Copies of this chain bind each other. A is one copy, B any other.
Amino acid sequence: MSLLVVGSVAYDGIETPFGKKDRILGGSATYISLTASYFAKQVNLVGVVGKDFDKRDIELFRSRGINLKGLQHDESGDTFFWKGKYHYDLNNRDTLDTQLNVFENFDPVIPEEYRDNKYIALGNIEPGLQESVLEQVDNPGFVVLDTMNFWISGAPEALKKTLQRVDLLVINDSEARELAEEPNLIRAAGMIRKMGPESLIIKKGEHGALLFTGDEIFSAPAFPIVDIFDPTGAGDSFMGGLLGWISYTDDLSPDNLRKGVVFGSVMASFCVEKFGPERLKNLTEKEIYDRYREFRRLSEIPEV
């Protein structure tokens, strides 16, 4: 089944304790598409880039078989640019610069040939734009949405309206607590699922992730990484691995969602090993499945 991916395509300037890149490919749609491309039969990208967008980055998407018919080229300005600096502990970062550029007027237009896509990945953009995507697709089968505290506090009504049409919400733990206004994560999850999403994933960074679906809770571990090089894109890579797997298998059972969460965690764990999307350019199937098995062993509880 084809996967529709909508989000930002950007250039990032990144500084971590381990190094610095002035300008490297980034954006939620970039990370979601690249990681999903290892699983999905067809990834269909929707986003916008400016006149400065590098042909080599177009080539990168093409090399991964990603359909770019929905990638708008706006010659009136430059590509969205974000610059940030990570602190020593890598859990916090300061935004040093944000230039929306052509992204400021981004209006996602879904090409005719994408409109029958069953699996929809809505990367973190303004909730109203996320909803406009859903207006344009024929019969969305499984809608997955990412958002952030900026929209939770800044556009709560628009977000809650969009959430009613979402099947699976993917957010991090502080965002879940903020959205539900409840410190206990398990209780917060119950409250958020009443807002619309039947299923919910709470990402907890170095503590793994929680999946709530049906009557089940699944607790996924985080991969124990000694050298996290650059956390940029880890959350989007999670979403790409998850949706790549689920769209590929076209199976929404709780056990298959568990597998999706682990493949998402696998892709996030690769993402942080190098700067930007560098590590996601040429992974092998063996590397991906070997790491899946390492996740299994990591959290295996023997029978008694």
Contacts and interface: CB of A to CB of B under 8 A. Distances in A.
A187 B17 CA distance: 15
A279 interface: no
A298 B207 contact: no
Interface string A199-227: 00000101110100000011111101110
Nearest to A265: B301
B187 A298 contact: no
Interface stretch (A7-15, A53-61, A254-262): A254-262
Interface stretch (A76-84, A113-121, A289-297): A289-297
Contact of A301 (B207, B222, B262): B262
A86 to B, nearest CB: 11
A299 B224 contact: no
A259 B302 contact: yes
Nearest to A189: B224
Q: Which of A190, A226, A258, A303 has the most CB of B within 10 A?
A: A226
Interface residues of A, number: 41
A186 interface: yes
A217 to B, nearest CB: 5
Contacts of A88: 183
A218 B89 contact: no
Contacts of A226: 184, 186-187, 190
Contacts of A184: 89-90, 226, 228
A224 B220 contact: no
A131 B188 CA distance: 44
A1 interface: no
B220 A301 contact: yes
Contacts of A256: 302
B299 A219 contact: yes
Contacts of A207: 204, 207-208
